[in-house]
Chains A and B, each alone.
Chain A
Amino acid sequence: MLKRLLAPVLTLLLLVGVSTAIYLSVKEQASLQAPALQELKGIIGSEKEDFFRDPETVAALAKAPWHLHVSIEKSGSRELSTTQNLKNQYDFAFPAGIAAAEKLKREQNGKKAVQLFFSPMVIASWRPIADLLVANHIAQKRGDTYYIVDMLALFGLISHEQRWRDLPGNTAYPVNKAILVTTTDLRTSNSAAMYLALASYLLNGNAIVENTAQIDKILPQLSALFSRQGFTENSTEIPFQDYLTMGMGKSPLVMVYESQFFSEANKSPSAITPEMVLLYPEPTLFSKHILIPLTANGETLAAALEQDETLQQIAQRYGFRTAHSAANSRTAALPSLVNVIDEPSYDILEAMINRITAR
């Protein structure tokens, strides 16, 4: 009964509302004489999708002086760097990873490469598992929310083909699964390549791999990190989605971008629970998100993302670190990382990937 009475009243209110909005909207259009938006299309690494789809991002890009309307398609970053003829289809490409960006810029005759956001590689895990690693001297707890993990010690467990149930004092996760870090497919996805870069540095005796002799030496160990996982997904969002929805039975340790985790944490409601924690590898490396403009509009977009404070703030909400991060209170919680290494050169990284995936 109440519903029947309510419906007409609400409809009336709605009509008033819509009319007012239309009136205001028309008035605003008329007063601003806003120029038509420039439509542009880009192909991006999947980890930036939510940022571009955010209505606030859309609004900030539409404003003066940018006047842009961006539509996006997503792809694995490495997959993206090997796609042909991007120029005919897109105004910009926005992969993750220096290597992918370098290659893309070279092969597509990109005008420049603009580094906009960055994000450290982290291992998304679970409190019981992190505490178990602490008990086994693989990790150290820092504050309430995050841990530092000794990657060399972790690789030691992995290369001895230890299973979770083999860890002494393990009552939290006594399962048969081999201890492995879940990654994506090396052939298609940048986050897997980042894991490879990190592992190669450590296994090469804390030095960036520079030649094939060094690759030869560590190749079996490197390969095992990936082949033993079995099936891997093509793009970083999928294992992270699995982490959020399927719990620690599926993914005890998942290599992700820090931004993925904080992007989700900043959502409301958020799928992040108190049980979910981050392990920061020591050393770690930054995944750099680099925009390659392919047209003039693409260049305008690069400028917008580089200069517009609102856009920078939105990016931070999505968990990215930016050049202006320090000034922003939201990111105060992010640990400052001192021990950060560089990726190997494009050619070395490619050589490693090719040899691992050919095995």
Chain B
Amino acid sequence: MNLLRTAFLTGCFGLLLLVAACGKPTEPKTATNTLTLLAGSELKDLEPMWANLQEQTGIHLQITYTGTLDGAEILSDPKQHYDLAWFSHAKYLTLMQEKQKLIQAQEKIAISPVIPAIKESLAKKWGWLDHPQVTWTQLAEKIRSGQLTYAMTDPAASNSGFSTVMSVQAALANKGDALTAQDVDAEKLKSFFSGHVLTAGSSGFLSSLFLRNQAQVGGIFNYEAELLKLNRNPLLQEKLVLLYPQEGTVIADYPLLLLAKDQAANYQKLVDYLKSAAFQQWLMDTTDRRPVNPAVALGTQFPKGYLLDMPFPNTIATVNEILFAYLNEQRQPSHTYFVLDVSGSMAGSGIAALQQAMANLAGADTTLTGKFARFRNREQVTLITFNHQVQDIRHFTVDKEGHALQDIDAYVNGLTTTGGTAIFSALDVAYKQATQARAADPKRFYSIVLMTDGLNEDGMSYTDFVRLYQQHANSAAAINTFPIIFGNADPSQLQALAALTGGQVFDSRTNSLAAAFKQIRGYQ
């Protein structure tokens, strides 16, 4: 009797699937369950499938996007309430959780190594086409001799930069096993990072920055998935050759993490869906990540052969030490311009928020990500305050001892507010200063933050600014402006400004001015 019933039920289930496939979209099979998910921002590209997920499983994902290290910090707070987390890797979080068991279960969903890619002409010249024996050491030599410059994200803000820094550290220390702090060869690393000419706070933005400045840069470190996508971009003038260094690379494996024990059943449903052949096929075809379901054959866009992975440090202290050494000692320093509105309308809460935001960058934010976002040793900071005209221009050079940080804090605390708003006159001054400074000291990253709470009322008009900018577009290239929407600022004009200069708008209204300032640090 039992067998018969099983047979019937199995048959019916098969039919049910068939009917669903044959007919119009059906009602969700089960009631909707909403799960909260904290996800890496690079996973936004999966959104087209979430309607299908809900239809198939009744699971609705309520997603908040953030960076990998920011995410780890959010999740280590015992008061956090997320059911699930999903980042390109869980190593940092696993090391960070120590005794408190945050991760209840995990399943890897996709694979993408973080690798170098160089322009085809360079690969040809160096005999690196279809050359599986290329090493990080050879790349380092091309960089040292000035033949190769590259784009890479900030390792404290984005996982592709983080993975690259980890790979480079291990490879240049010539380690076949786990890296420890003593292995690090600072001089070799400084030389390697001297070729870093474009930086960004996210892997997607890095690709667009690369496209914008492709004539000036030879290579890029990014996810294999992001590089394959970039290679299909019609704006790309010269194909990129993807390299798989012999020493290995850090590989993103996208584990879906269960945090809330009581969601185990829904988690299992979600995992089954994500690992199903149908989803995995879509994932590979649409996002160029490699599937983990062996039933899905690897596409022809991927080279044959195995992916070599790099050992990852086994303590959070080692990882953080590597990051801080990178930020404060090894990377190319930046010169950061802050164009700050001190007009009358900023009085009260406006100026207080600005003072807090700047104080945080000068060291007041003692969270881990706050420390990563702090002004770095060797960095130059120029503060340009304006109302109806430029009020003051102050330069600071950040020193190991922290004197400059105290000076910045004291200076910002002394700001007073009065007068009108001449946004573009002030921004024009910033560009003049930045282009001159770069001509004198080209081995730095230059960028501009524009913070205003109102509309342009005085001085140069936006149209005039655009005209001037375009006249000097070459000397200003890759000096991007990051406008912050605050108070009554005009979002559409700031968007246009960001697009013009290759920057990105940050909206302080969704969180806080301090959060926006902190996020922009990834782009400096």
Q: Is the CB of A230 within 8 A of B12?
A: no
- Hey, which chain A residues are within 8 Å of B247, CB to CB? 176
Residues on B with beta carbons closer than 8 Å to the beta carbon of A20? 8
Rounded to whole angstroms, the CA-CA distance of A282 and B151 in the bound complex is 50
Q: Which of A24, A228, A249 contacts B1 (CB 8 A)?
A: A24
CB 8 Å contact bits of A7-24 with B (1 = contact, 0 = none): 100110110011011001
Interface 9-residue window, one of A142-150, A232-240, A320-328: A232-240
Q: How far is the CA of A178 from the CA of B176 in the complex (A)?
A: 4
Which residues in window 218-277 of A have CB below 8 A to B?
A: 227-234, 238, 241-242, 244-250, 269, 271, 273
From known contacts A21-B9, A178-B177, A241-B107, infer whether A269 and B314 are also in contact, taking CB-CB under 8 Å. Answer: no
Interface size grouping (class) on chain A: 35 or more
- Find A3's partner among B1, B22, B174, B306 (CB 8 Å cutoff): B22
Q: Are B294 and A247 in contact (CB under 8 A)?
A: no
Could you say which interface size class chain B belongs to?
Answer: 35 or more
Q: Is B11 an interface residue (CB 8 A)?
A: yes
Q: How far is the CB of A353 from chain B (nearest CB, A)?
A: 15
Is the CB–CB distance between B251 and A28 below 8 Å? Answer: no
Question: Which residues in window 101-125 of B have CB below 8 A to A?
Answer: 101, 103-108, 111
Contact with A along B461-486 (1 / 0, CB 8 A): 00000000000000000000000000
- Is B184 close to A, CB under 8 A? no
CB distance from A325 to the nearest CB of B (A): 27
- What are the residues of chain A within 8 A of B311 when measuring CB–CB? 177-178, 228-231
Mark out the residues of chain A between 1 and 42 whose CB falls within 8 Å of any chain B CB in the assembled complex: 3-4, 6-7, 10-11, 13-14, 17-18, 20-21, 24-25, 28
Interface residue from A178, A238, A271 paired with B294 (Cβ < 8 Å): A271
With a 10 A CB-CB cut-off, give which of A4, A177, A232 has the most chain B CB atoms: A177
CA of A25 to CA of B6, assembled, Å: 10
Q: Which residues of B contact A230 (CB under 8 A)?
A: 177-179, 311-314
In the assembly, what is the distance between CA of A196 and CA of B292, in Å? Answer: 30
Q: List, in ascending order, chain B residues with CB within 8 A of A161's CB.
A: 176-177
A37 to B185, CA, bound (A): 64
**Top 6 nearest A-B pairs by Cβ distance?**
A230-B178, A249-B306, A178-B176, A230-B311, A231-B312, A228-B177
Given contacts A25-B5, A230-B313, 16 further A-B contacts (CB under 8 A): A10-B19, A20-B8, A21-B9, A175-B248, A177-B308, A178-B175, A227-B178, A230-B179, A230-B314, A231-B178, A234-B94, A242-B253, A244-B294, A248-B306, A249-B308, A250-B307
Which residues of B come within 8 Å of A, CB atoms? 1-2, 4-5, 8-9, 11-12, 15-16, 18-19, 22-23, 91, 94-95, 101, 103-108, 111, 174-179, 246-248, 251, 253, 261, 264, 292, 294-295, 305-309, 311-314
7 CB < 8 A contacts A-B: A13-B15, A14-B16, A24-B1, A176-B248, A229-B177, A229-B314, A242-B253
